[in-house]
Structure 1
């Protein structure tokens, strides 16, 4: 049971205020800070900090004694790796539009690129590792995203609401087959358009979106999003693809789960994200990074409909704990909240390697051997599988919020 010092990732789409403010550092930061990583990712592992201030690399500790850190079952199933990575996302500008492979697709792609001799750190590498990358994002503030393909009938209504001469044939393409196959056909057509054709169609679509917004049309939010993407990524086919996805606004505590193949794009806001410990990303557009259209089309799932939003399921006997259920074996995320007048301690059973992250208030964690750790907002801690049972409770009368990351249920 030790404090965890996470790694800050300075991507250009990040915020100069969110993560520094969370960690109690001067605001604004000199450069954008997009993600705070908590885990044992080889690219930027966290560090354990003991009571004397000595720091140890979590990745090295897991590699040295995976059974003690992860537990025997977790260590055996995941090959001695911590299977998940916990993050804070500080999204100031949109990320790239992307999807992630299934376990089978990742393993096949990894073998294929290894055989081809593509370096694992090459910019055109799609599969730097052989594992899946499902993820779940839970809003800390109002959080905006595009995720999953909208019901095609609704998308046809949107396209007709912004109808232009150049758009008509594409609208009718989907109207004639309003199902996943029709979505695949339209999506494939748009992201493979020659640049000359794209340069004719996109200005028409953007002008039509401007008019729709001025008229306070039914699809105002969707059109505003397309206009924002068109401004930051002119001449990019991903702007058209954005017309096909569900536009979501999550309130604090609401979460979406993104399984393999789900095409998505985070737009703005702050969130906790938990994901499989993998780097496999297939990008669609809205990025200067590598885009491999044939491989993307092999990965994207064109199932359609409203994107499920979860606030977590209450658990017994800890009614303050809400668990975000998914089918991902790599991870599970839970949220624990105390109100101003509710300071009762909650016992956390030992279910394997855990990361506890405080996002509001102050907490104290106490092991049954008497050891204690205090967590302030923005701080996290590591509980190995060998650690004793821990109880957590808020300090003071202002309430607190804690997120708990654990492995999911490993298949037998």
Structure 2
């Protein structure tokens, strides 16, 4: 069991205050800080002292990961945990299934596309499911909304240019209708977008002024339309669920789920993969045919998890992802009971509030806010005790079942 030193990723959509404040550094940071990475990702691995976690795992995969995990994931740590600090919207995106990733990776390898090329969709052959759990109020767009409700929204915003698209979905309010409308919008020529989008934004302004039923959805379109002028992704967001998570609530994003994170701070856990198919709201590469190949147009309200109590002070966020599992540990200021964490695989814990003591067979680590710890598969069980007098919260990442 050892303290981790983690990498901060400075993407333009990040916050200049959130991660700096979490890590106890001067605020504001000199540039946006979007993600704090905890794991053995080759692009920016965590460090244990002067050694990268990637090198530590490579040197002893069975001892660090456990025999089952090492065998199943080819001696790789299968998950990556992050603190995500979104000040602006991320790109509209989806991720492939394991089978789609393997096929896409093999295809691009055979074509000789460099793995770091800007037009590369599959730099690795693995899936990328993810789960995001809010630390602050967290806003997202995720999954296709029930098309009947979307038709109601489009009727509210109907303009001369929008009417034909409203009728298209109204005539087939199902997954095939959503696919047809999304495909039509994402492939519109730029002159058509330059006519349609201003009409849509004007209609959203009127809807907000009238305090209409879809006020939040319209405000989102206006914000994204201002930031991404002429982008077809602004139309696409009309089809997605608008989600607001309270702290401790989470959403799981399996393969094919079209989504973007809009604003807020969260713990994110995902498979250790870089496979992203973008659909807009970005100047980066958008491969429409490949995106359409992986998208799941099934529609429903986005399920929100609040965590399932599995032990005193411990809540788990279950998914079907074999790569990871996320748990939350939490104590009120007057609660001091310890939690014993045992695992046959690797685990990472980060303290997001208060402080805690982690003990494992005589070794003791004081874990303050923003600090994280690595526990290898061969380590003994970890005993976690909160520092009394303050609310304490930790998140724990392990490999999935």
Shorter chain as normaliser: what TM range? over 0.9
Whether 1:254 aligns to 2:249 is yes
Q: 1-side partners of 2:237 and 2:227: how far apart? A: 13
Q: Per-residue deviation at 1:163?
A: 1.0
Residue of structure 2 equivalent to 1:26: 26
* Superposition deviation, residue 399 in structure 1: 2.5
- After TM superposition, the score normalised by the length of structure 1 is 0.97
- Aligned pairs (5 A) from 1:158-307: 158-307=153-302
Q: Kindly indicate whether residue 317 of structure 2 is the aligned counterpart of residue 324 of structure 1.
A: yes
Would you say the 8 A contact 2:132–2:268 is kept in 1?
yes
C-alpha deviation, 1:37, in angstroms: 0.1
Pick from 32, 51, 54 the counterpart of residue 56 of structure 1: 51
Give the 3-state SS of the residue equivalent to 1:5 in structure 2: coil
Partner-residue secondary structure (3-state), 2:11:
coil
Shift of 1:319: 2.4
> After alignment, is 8-17 or 348-357 more displaced?
348-357
Q: Is the 8 A contact 1:149 1:244 kept in 2?
A: yes
Q: Deviations over 1:80-124 (max 9, x none)?
A: 000000000000000000000000000000000000000000000
Q: Say whether 1:376 aligns with 2:368.
A: yes
1:341 matched to 2:371? The reply is no
Match of 1:124 in 2: 119
Structure 1 residue 388 and structure 2 residue 377: aligned?
no
Aligned mates of 1:94, 1:17 — CA distance in 2: 16
Indicate yes or no: 2:391 matched with 1:399. Answer: yes
Q: Which runs of 4+ in 1 moved over 4 A?
A: none
Alpha-carbon deviations, 1:268-302, whole Å to 9, x = none? 00000000000000000010100000000001100
TM-score (norm 2): 0.99
Say which of 85, 99, 102 aligns to 2:97. 102
Secondary structure of 1:275 counterpart? strand
Paired position in structure 1 for 2:358: 365
Query: Which residue is 1:52 aligned to?
Result: none
Contact 1:351 1:406 in 2 (8 A): no
Superimposed CA distance per residue, residues 184-240 of structure 1 (whole angstroms, 9 cap, x where no aligned partner): 000000000011111111100000000000000000000000000000000000000
User: Relative to structure 2, which stretch is displaced further, 193-202 or 128-137?
Assistant: 193-202
Unaligned 5+ segments in structure 1 are 50-54
In 1, the alpha carbon distance for the partners of 2:282 and 2:157 equals 25
Unaligned runs of 5+ in 2: none
1:360-395: CA deviations, max 9, x gaps?
00000011x211000001000000001011100111
For residues 64 and 160 of structure 2, the distance between their equivalents in structure 1, rounded to whole angstroms, comes to 61
Deviation per CA, 1:116-169: give whole Å up to 9, x if none. 000000000000000000000000000000000000000000000111111011
**Distance (Å, rounded) in 1 between the aligned partners of 2:178 and 2:336:** 50
Instruction: Name the counterpart of 2:130.
Output: 135
